[in-house]
Structure 1
Amino acid sequence: MAFRNLHPRLRIRPAEVRRLIHTLDGSALFAPPVGELSIVVLDEHRMAALHGRFLDDPTETDVITFEGDPHLGLAGEIFVCADVASSYVDGDRERFPAELCLYIVHGYLHLAGFDDTSPPLRRAMRAAEKRAMTALASAHAIPTASLTSI
């Protein structure tokens, strides 16, 4: 698993993100994505640029997932936006790490075969997210994360 933090104010330990993924992989809740997984945390400007370039929508979003090619040993890439997570929890420092973790989980689940393009699929995705977050909380595998002041 490769992890990059490209957000200038986010403090998060890569080892804790690796533990999150290893916990999900070993949970037996889902079929883990096959191959190398890449996770990147962006700020709102970089996320909006990525969203515009690949999805023709130049606004920030919470998570974008790109499928890889298991035949090439690539599970896929998950891009998450720390600024959207912070905004969603209204700057609540206590809730921020779990919200950011949820975005990683959401991308992971896409790579594990879940989709959210219709109401029934969205319900299944939300249920899977809840199971994953419960497993991560029980294993104390939600990474510590914070945004520093400017």
Structure 2
Amino acid sequence: MSTNKQSDTSSQCELKLAIQFATDSIGVPNEQLFRKWVEAALNKPAEVVIRIVDIQEGEALNHQFRGKDAATNVLTFVYSDDAPLFGDIVLCAPIISGEAKQQGKELAAHYAHLTVHGILHLQGYDHISREDAAIMESLETKIITNLNYPDPYAILVTE
């Protein structure tokens, strides 16, 4: 059974942020961490909803809006790219947890990366072309390492 708790917080940084927890998944970060990550990646006023979902909702949204028949880690919905920005970011908790485990990453670090990734999409960054991907990944790495997490694109070597 999933909960549907919602938190609505605002700060003086011109960010209105609502967090919706629509999952019972273990290890989902708290509201303060999501706010910290969003603020680190944001460069203009914004109104953002972050919704953390389970597989079923992740699959339904990815099918409805992208024509894909599986859940994905993060979806970004941009409603306005003017100031203030308006958009939603959907994070699929089981996918993120599985990826973190598979990639040998700390779960919070992976959530931070995907939150930053979604916020950058909200601001118009993309990774369709190699050039755009290099720009976006460089910015993600800078933000994530400034938050004291490892480079999300570093190759992990295990022996």
- TM (normalized to structure 1)? 0.76
CA distance in 2, matches of 1:71, 1:21: 17
Seen in structure 2, the aligned counterparts of structure 1 residues 16 and 120 have a Cα distance that, compared at 3 Å, is same
Structure 2 equivalent of residue 7 of structure 1:
23
Whether the aligned pair in 1 keeps the contact of 2:81 and 2:122 (CA below 8 Å) is: no
Give the match's secondary structure for 2:68: coil
Greater share of helix: 1
- Taking every aligned residue pair, what percent have the same amino acid on both sides? 24
Whether the aligned pair in 2 keeps the contact of 1:116 and 1:122 (CA below 8 Å) is: yes
CA distance in 2, matches of 1:117, 1:49: 23
Q: Cα distance, 1:16 vs. partner?
A: 2.3
- Of 42, 61, 74, the match for 1:63: 74
Give the match's secondary structure for 2:125: coil
Total equivalences in the alignment? 132
Following superposition of structure 1 onto structure 2, how do residues 41-60 of structure 1 map, counting pairs within 5 Å? Answer: 41-60=52-71
Whether the aligned pair in 1 keeps the contact of 2:81 and 2:124 (CA below 8 Å) is: no
Seen in structure 2, the aligned counterparts of structure 1 residues 133 and 45 have a Cα distance that, compared at 3 Å, is same
Superposed CA RMSD in Å reads 2.3
Deviations 1:87-128 (Å, cap 9, x if unpaired)? Answer: 112268961111111111110001122111111111111111
Structure 2 equivalent of residue 132 of structure 1:
143
Gaps of 5+ in 2: 1-16, 150-159
- TM (normalized to structure 2)? 0.73
